[in-house]
Amino acid sequence: MREHRHHKQQFAALVLTAAVALTGCGGEDGGSADGKKDGGKNGKGDAAAKADPSGPSGKSKGAIPAKGVVVKAWCAVPANKPADVVVEAWDPGSWKKVATTTFTLPTTTVMTEEDNASTPLAELCKGDVVTPEDTGTGTGTGTEDEGPKALAEPRVRQLFNDDFTKLAVVLKDTETEGTRAAVVTPGNAKPTMVNKSGGSDFADAPTEQHPVFAPGGSDQVWYMTKAENEDKPTFFTAPAERRGKGDELSAQRPGFTLAGSPAGPASALTASVLRLSPDSRKAAGFHEMQGMNVVDVPRRTTVQRDDDAPLHPLGSCMPLGWTDSTTVLCGEREMTEDDPARKNNFWTVDSTRLKKDEEPPSAAIGKPILPKTSRKNTLRALSPDGKQMILTSRQGTVTEHFTARTAPGAAPKKITAKGADQALRAGQVLEWR
């Protein structure tokens, strides 16, 4: 049965403003992609972009190792200085920080949600605009009611290219209110515009928004435009190649996620809270007015709207990831009937057993993974093979971190390394790679 209730999210309407108009920074090259120019906080951009040679192995063009690390990001707005997005890599064995890279943002960067300037950066920065000194003090763990931030959705990860050497942002002209999609690199706040094609002098202000990098390491950026008199956004890839129309934007459909693999083309999916299977063949997420579903990912470059694909309902499952290419990892979902055995718990759903437009059969639903407790548990990271997860567990005012298998009967093991608390407090985990 399709669900007609949906959870509304409230977004602040704040934009960083500056005296420099957007037109003053258009068309400039973003400089070195390896962060060698001096920049970042207090002139430490170059030093911060160097990985610890004793850290995990894994080749990468940037500071962040290509494997063996948990990668998180957070936003910082120092007094009287441009804002930064800080990316850190932590060794999940020793919980030592092995690499840091910092993106200093142009002063016209949109950092919170606006009706005419959708960007996943707002989700990354929401409730987490902190200073570096706050990262070890508990800031960023969330409020008592909300708890810590869960593992980032793919569209937030897609703000960055594969090796975290580029960040996609939206810039706003405070005079014309036009918005442009742009890319910045570590240590250099001068942006590169995604759409470099010229336009008529007598034209509407641009409405580019929601830029994200296609998966697979190509550094291709997708973005969308939506004029005042348009209900549905139009999707583009640089250089301004039109890809199709999406659904009307809303709190439940704030933008889109790109699905694809290195071997195939990328497609834009406008469902939200979307989680992609490891082989990029399926996606689990919320389709507005139709609940949580699994859909097949298009095998071509296109825009898939909420009603474009057959929907296979997930029931009370909030998809958090995939333990393999057919099995969805679930957490409890708001606005569904309470199941005492699954409260504050996790379980799996076998997507091969799901049926079109029908509630999932009992044979598709796995048993609860964790022991039954009253703890409030949040998934923070999922291992590359989907077999291990990192949890933040709260009991009263006590916050602790655990590792556990993603299979029923898991016995969570407390993480005792001192660095884990610092690593998992401020910011949002983007990837365990």
Residue 197 main-chain phi, psi, to 5 deg: -70, 145
CA gap 312, 361 in Å, rounded: 11
Tell how strand 267-269 and strand 303-304 pair up: parallel
Count CA atoms within 13 Å of residue 44 on its CB side.
9
- pLDDT, tens only, 210-244: 999 999 888 999 999 998 888 899 999 988 899 99
pLDDT of residue 145: 53
- Helices marked H in 186-337: none
| Percentage of the chain lying above the pLDDT 90 cut | 64
Taking 70 as the pLDDT cut, the residues of the chain under it are 1-59, 79-80, 127-146, 189, 199-200, 335-338
| pLDDT value of position 281 | 94
The type of residue at 80 is N
- Partners of residue 363 on adjacent β-strands: none
Q: What is the pLDDT of residue 41?
A: 38
The string of DSSP codes covering 256-293 is: -EEE--TTS--EEE--EEEEE-TTSSEEEEE-TTS-EE
> What confidence tens digit (pLDDT) does each residue in 143-154 have?
445 678 999 999
Contact predicate 28/184, CB 8 Å: no
What SS3 class is residue 342?
A: coil
Nearest 5°: phi and psi at 166?
Answer: -140, 150
Count the neighbouring beta carbons within 10 Å of the beta carbon of residue 268: 28
Tell me how far apart the alpha carbons of residues 127 and 12 are, in angstroms, rounded to a whole number: 10
Handedness of CA 193, 199, 202, 207 (dihedral sign): negative
Element (H, E) at 47: helix 45-48
Q: What 8-state DSSP symbol labels residue 352? A: G
Token output for 216: 């697979």
Beta carbons within 10 angstroms of residue 4's beta carbon? 9
Distance CA 245, CA 232 (A): 6
Phi, psi angles (nearest 5°) of residue 120: -65, -15
**Would you give the distance in Å from CA 298 to the centre of its chain?**
21
Which pLDDT score is estimated for 229? 85
The label of the residue with tokens 């640089």 reads: 238
Diameter over CA atoms, the chain: 65
Burial class (CB in 10 A: 0-12, 13-18, 19+), 115: exposed
Distances (CA, A) of 305 to 46, 158, 253, 255, 309: 42, 19, 10, 11, 8
**Triad 195, 200, 204: Cα angle to 5°:** 80
β partners of residue 319: 330
Q: What's the CA gap between 378 and 381, in Å, rounded?
A: 9
Distance CA 412, CA 82 (A): 41
**CA-to-CA dists, residue 123 to 130, 225, 310, 427, angstroms:** 14, 19, 28, 11
Q: In what order do the strands lie in the sheet with 241-245?
A: 208-213, 221-225, 234-237, 241-245
Q: Reduce the DSSP state of residue 383 to 3 states and report it.
A: coil
Q: Closest by alpha carbon to 157, among 368, 431, 343?
A: 431
Number of H helices, E strands in the chain: 4, 25
